[in-house]
Amino acid sequence: MHDLTGFQRDILYVIAGLEEPHGLAVKNELDDYYEQEINHGRLYPNLDDLVDKGLLKKGEFDKRTNVYTVTQRGLREIEARREWEGQYLEDVNAPTTS
């Protein structure tokens, strides 16, 4: 996951958490998170990159809608990232002593 942009990581996390992860649903979640509209020209090339990297699988829901799922490799990458982050966040909520 070290070669992903923060935006690509966010896409991967959103897709892992959605029940029906199609492009528009992902876009809506990211619009809310970033508090601005994410244009299609930014989203879809990044989705394609994640598919090319083997982190997402792209399927067809209907003739107009693609559906995305996180691959096993993608899930391993998410878990590895969470472990890496966790080593730095372990003591964030620990009480301080003076």
Residue 94 pLDDT > 80, yes or no?
A: no
Could you tell me the residue range of the domain that residue 51 belongs to? 6-85
**For the segment 30-52, what is each residue's pLDDT rounded down to a tens digit?**
999 999 999 999 999 999 999 99
Q: Is 90 inside a domain boundary?
A: no
- DSSP letters, 19-83, are SS-BHHHHHHHHHHHHTSPPPHHHHHHHHHHHHHTTSEEEEESSSS-EEEEE-HHHHHHHHHHHH
Q: In this structure, what CATH number is given to the domain that contains residue 76?
A: 1.10.10.10
Residue 62: predicted pLDDT:
84
Is 97 part of a structural domain of the chain? Answer: no
Instruction: For residue 94, tell me if it sits in a domain.
Output: no
Look at residue 13 and tell me if it is in a domain: yes
Mean predicted confidence (pLDDT) in 9-26: 95
Domain membership of residue 23 (yes or no) is: yes
Whole-number Å distance between alpha carbons of 44 and 22 = 11
What predicted TM-score, i.e. pTM, was given to this entire model?
A: 0.85
pLDDT band per the 50, 70, 90 thresholds, residue 96? low
Domain count, the chain: 1
- Tell me whether residue 40 is in a domain: yes
